[in-house]
Chain A
Amino acid sequence: MNVNCERACDMMHDRLDGILSDADDTRLDAHLSSCPACDTAFAQLMDVDAGLCELRTATVLSEVSHRRHFPLRRVSRIAAGVVLAVGVGLAVRTAMVSRVDPTELHSAVHTAPRIELTAGSAERYLPIVERTDRPDVHIVWLHRMLPAGGKDGSAGDGASLQRPAGVTLEVGARETTPRV
């Protein structure tokens, strides 16, 4: 049974969707071989389909390749940034628990397994870990006024951080925006 161009167009899309029956597949091929206009149109649709496949592959986001979590254009309050880094030549504290005050700025490398946050107030801090290009360097941003919890490798209850193995701690500060 011959198909007309309108039916052939439907069949082209069915083929792209992978739902064309074997019989209709044969009918479509027969039509394309005898209709240059439809043959050209189907070739163009195949090109679009291939381009979409390439676009899909090219737009897969990497979980660790990005560097920026928070848009600086929406700066609204200051949060203490706790940088986990391997530091050479910096002061090293080797106690089991390191105390970090998010409201103070200081630079030190903490190697204790656990870091406790002292806020000087009842406020809780949510640590958000940001990866960097170096696998041994993590930046932890502490957000105020957020529920407790951590993500991305940090295990915290809002008032303390479990330092991941292989990294040490350096405290810094940066303006960022809290995410609720």
Chain B
Amino acid sequence: MVIEERAGQDLAESKPPTEYAGRNRLVQLAYRFVWDRADAEDAVQNALTLAHQKRSDLRDESKRWSWLCRIVVRQCFLLRRVEQRRTQRERSSLPAISDRRADSIASSERAELVRWAMDRLPPQQRTAITLRHLEEMPYDRIAAIMEISPSTARVHVRAAREAMRSAIMGRDRDYQLTARQRGGE
């Protein structure tokens, strides 16, 4: 039985969330939204508790896994909003490209830039690009999780790519402008 079917069965059998099959898979998904393992664990725990409480709301049992993923993604965005409000005063508006943050999770500068750009996407585009490129899901699965059509999912992914391209290129221009200004001082 694939992990999605087992997770759905666990939900139907009212197993405690700590025993859900596929829990680790959901933590992996959450991690790519919150970039912190502890936060990912928290988001999944909250999501599974919520799913456990609301399992009777699910009418189509074949869509349990997509439903679980959707709840996890929503909990991730909730967690991010709480964290952003908490750290609003400390955050700078545009970190320098050459910064090496202590929590950098990617070894390449390009991956860090991409991560930076992803974090600035609106939720729909952020979700779609994460599910497509980081979770490698097909468009029909993305559509099921986001409760949209596959074509709309495709539109969100494309818009996300373009937005990220513009953001990264814009940041490059600002960096080079700053470097030229410093060189002229």
Contacts and interface: CB of A to CB of B under 8 A. Distances in A.
Contacts of A69: 41
A16 B133 CA distance: 10
A55 B17 contact: no
Interface size class of B (residues with CB under 8 A): 35 or more
B18, B32, B106, B161, most chain A CB atoms within 10 A: B18
Given A58-B105, A66-B37, A69-B41, A48 B168 contact: yes
B144 interface: no
Contacts of A53: 133
A157 B117 CA distance: 47
A91 to B, nearest CB: 32
B107 interface: yes
B27 A55 contact: no
Interface stretch (A21-29, A114-122, A144-152, A163-171): A144-152
| A: contact size bracket | 20 to 34
Contacts of B120: none
A55 B16 contact: no
A60 B129 CA distance: 16
A13 interface: yes
Interface string B96-123: 0000000001111011011101100000
Interface in A38-64: 41, 44-45, 47-56, 58-61, 63
Given A13-B158, A48-B165, A69-B41, A59 B105 contact: yes
Interface in B1-51: 16-19, 24, 27-28, 31-32, 35, 37-38, 40-42, 45, 49
B18 A48 contact: no
B107 A180 contact: no
A27 to B, nearest CB: 19
Contacts of B19: 147, 149, 151
A45 B157 CA distance: 12
B31 A44 contact: no
Nearest to A60: B28
Contact of A146 (B16, B28, B105, B115): B16
Given A59-B31, A60-B28, A147-B16, 8 more contacts: A17-B154, A49-B133, A49-B161, A55-B106, A58-B111, A71-B41, A147-B19, A180-B49
A58 B165 contact: no
Interface in A55-94: 55-56, 58-61, 63, 66, 68-69, 71
30 contacts: A13-B154, A13-B157, A13-B158, A13-B161, A16-B161, A17-B154, A45-B165, A47-B110, A47-B165, A47-B168, A48-B117, A48-B165, A49-B133, A51-B110, A51-B111, A54-B106, A54-B114, A55-B115, A55-B134, A58-B107, A59-B32, A59-B35, A59-B134, A61-B28, A68-B38, A71-B41, A146-B16, A149-B18, A151-B18, A180-B49
